[in-house]
Structure 1
């Protein structure tokens, strides 16, 4: 069972072919085991992708280039900056 420590590693599962109905069934069975519950992600609403270190480093370079260019709309700049911060934090945590 998770101990509620927000600084734990954050693991996830990718289950190819998982349906919405099966996802809910798994959630219902697993929820009692985890302090923060289980969160199914709808592929119509979220791009769930497991990026490796090299891919995240490329994303960081692209985000930096776009932000340095200064041509993004204000709301896009805010979103890109937040994504860049998340990626840089993950790289540091991953030891990259």
Structure 2
């Protein structure tokens, strides 16, 4: 985080109804206006994107940890679940 403009945690915006073209135009505008440090257009056919409140994150984290402790997942899924659990735990530790 060497850039002094980088803010963590940062805000995000969910704008339903965007097309790929309009999402990319919005990103270009944000960069041109110097209001963001770049960004990405998330293709809903490739990535699942969701915003969760703290209570939901805590519940998902508890479920992941329980599944991992119980060895309820195959190794390839356990690795992904462990990484996701780590990300959720890190987010939960933020003020």
Equivalent residue for 1:85? Answer: 86
Higher relative CO (Cα under 8 Å, sequence separation at least 6) belongs to 1
For structure 1, which segment, 24-33 or 57-66, has the greater mean C-alpha deviation from structure 2 after superposition? Answer: 24-33
Where does the alignment leave 5 or more consecutive residues of structure 1 unmatched?
A: none
* Aligned length, in residue pairs: 91
Give per-residue Cα distances to partners, 1:31-84, cap 9 Å, x unaligned.
Answer: 24233x121111111111110000000101110111011131111111111101
- TM-superposed CA distance for 1:8, in Å, is 2.0
Once residues 5 and 82 of structure 2 are traced to their aligned partners in structure 1, the CA distance between those partners, rounded to angstroms, is 28
User: Taking structure 1 as the reference length, what is the TM-score of the superposition?
Assistant: 0.83
Q: Does the alignment pair 1:52 with 2:53?
A: yes
Once residues 81 and 87 of structure 1 are traced to their aligned partners in structure 2, the CA distance between those partners, rounded to angstroms, is 10
- TM-superposed CA distance for 1:4, in Å, is 4.5
Once residues 15 and 3 of structure 1 are traced to their aligned partners in structure 2, the CA distance between those partners, rounded to angstroms, is 27
- TM-superposed CA distance for 1:18, in Å, is 1.2
What RMSD in Å do the two structures reach over aligned CA positions? 1.7
Once residues 5 and 47 of structure 2 are traced to their aligned partners in structure 1, the CA distance between those partners, rounded to angstroms, is 25
Where does the alignment leave 5 or more consecutive residues of structure 2 unmatched?
A: none
Q: Does the alignment pair 1:43 with 2:44?
A: yes
